Amino acid sequence: MNRIAVEGVSYAYGRHPLLQDVRFEARTGEVLLVRGPNGSGKSTLLRLVAGLLHRPSGRVRFLEGDREVPEGDLRARLGMCAVEQNLYDELTALENLLFFGRLRLGGDCAGRAEALLGRADLHPHRHKPVRSLSSGMRQKLKLLAAVVHAPGFLLLDEPGSNLDARGMEFLAGLVEEQKDRGPVLLATNDPREFGHGTREYALAL
């Protein structure tokens, strides 16, 4: 059983409080929807959970059973797909996945990368540079980059951006598979994504 425990996390921009005393826990088998109006801090919260922003208060724990994952081991256990995340335009779709897989695992993941590209209908485009792909293809590739190392924890920020109906079916399958591996935090205001959630955490302005 994997768990993400968020304990009393607060954050402010200058003197303007954004998040105050956020507390929740998500477990294997759960997709926790993080919802709230624009400007309520959904993306900021996911970045705080991932450790991409300094947490001035509170703490976040990633647990495998009763064991807390050390910070140094987290890169191999955590996957994230965010709006501001970038791919390498000069690399091909396959080269991007191989790069992110090796970065997080320190080893080869070519077989899994090829299989994931097939599931996302990107295999025919695997040798094309990312700059030549459509926005929907790039979004699917960002999702693949988040799971190519089979993480035990997954954070998704507006994962359905630029996806058509077939892309949303792919996303649904990916989320369903991932929640059996570990907890998923999914920040969204897109009604198409609400059905993925098993629970909800609401943020307010």
List the CATH number of the domain containing 195.
3.40.50.300
Higher pLDDT, 14 or 179: 179
Q: How high is the pLDDT of residue 98?
A: 96
CB 180 within 8 A of CB 28: yes
pLDDT at 105 exceeding the cut of 90: no
Q: Is the four-CA dihedral 121, 123, 125, 128 of positive or negative sign?
A: positive
**Mean of the pLDDT values across residues 12-16?**
88
Q: If we measure between CA atoms, which residue out of 134, 110, 131, 111 comes closest to residue 122?
A: 134
pLDDT at 107 exceeding the cut of 80: no
Q: Is 186 helix (H, G, I), strand (E, B) or coil?
A: strand
Q: How high is the pLDDT of residue 125?
A: 98
pTM: 0.95
CB 79 within 8 A of CB 149: yes
pLDDT-derived band at 106, boundaries 50, 70, 90: confident
pLDDT-derived band at 147, boundaries 50, 70, 90: very high
Range of the domain at 77: 2-202
pLDDT in tens, 110-135: 999 999 999 999 999 999 999 999 99
Cα–Cα distances (Å) from 32 to 55, 103, 118, 154, in that order, read 21, 27, 28, 11
- Say what percent of the chain tops pLDDT 70: 100
pLDDT-derived band at 205, boundaries 50, 70, 90: confident
Compute the distance between CA of residue 24 and CA of residue 7 in angstroms, rounded to an integer.
7
pLDDT-derived band at 84, boundaries 50, 70, 90: confident
When divided into structural domains, the chain yields a total of 1
pLDDT-derived band at 16, boundaries 50, 70, 90: confident
